[in-house]
Structure 1
Amino acid sequence: MVSLLSCSPGWDAKASASSACDRQAAAKGNSMPNAKKKSGYTKRDLRAVSDTPELTRADFAKARPFSEVFPDLSASIRMGRGPNKAPTKKLVSLRLSPEVVEHFKSTGPGWQSRIDETLRKAVKRKAS
């Protein structure tokens, strides 16, 4: 026969090896905190707070491009990467000996820029 211990309120007496008094889980499977918390809102949440009516085909037919509605703002927004910091380089296909490629690649990232730098130095020496 198992004798039950007297435990504090909210605690249940148990006859187990791990603990004589143990707090009961609120519901099955909820005894451990959930490591992954859901983020964001559900469609129900968004519908509950939305006071904007659903757009109709007529609404879409009346729509105009952003640049037409706000030309000044559209012009002020920079598209693309913007101007280069250095003069633009030309894209070429060049065959190099394996020894040259291995030498520059062995020096790590930026090896193509180092080849460019070496060639520019050679051109300056030749021009002098």
Structure 2
Amino acid sequence: MKPSDHAPGYVPNAAYSQADWDEVSDNPELSAEQLAQMHLGSEGLPPDLAAALDQRGRRMASQTRGVPVSLRVDPDVLAAYKAGGPGWQARMNEALAAGIARGRRRSRAVKRG
């Protein structure tokens, strides 16, 4: 096969070979009419699938709004939460809330004892 016979756009790399690229890159270019008929987003999907995709990655809205604060924490603590990916602030909030609950249980135990 001559180099000109290969699918356009291949850039040599270790992830895939020219043969891999050629195998999956044989789609014809879309016409202007086909492009005009394309729908973005979830318009052409079944409603339940569209709803599931729309909700993907979103967290449940809290009943109460968070209050912005400035808080000093050890750099390694912050790095550990951020390393967990998106939602690190919510996870940190959950850990603080769990600490409050533990403190309340401990104080009730001391009062009874």
What is the TM-score normalised by the length of structure 1?
A: 0.36
TM-score for both structures, normalised by structure 2: 0.39
Higher relative contact order (CA 8 A, sep 6+): 2
Which protein shows a greater Rg?
A: 1
Q: By percentage of residues, which structure has more strand?
A: 1
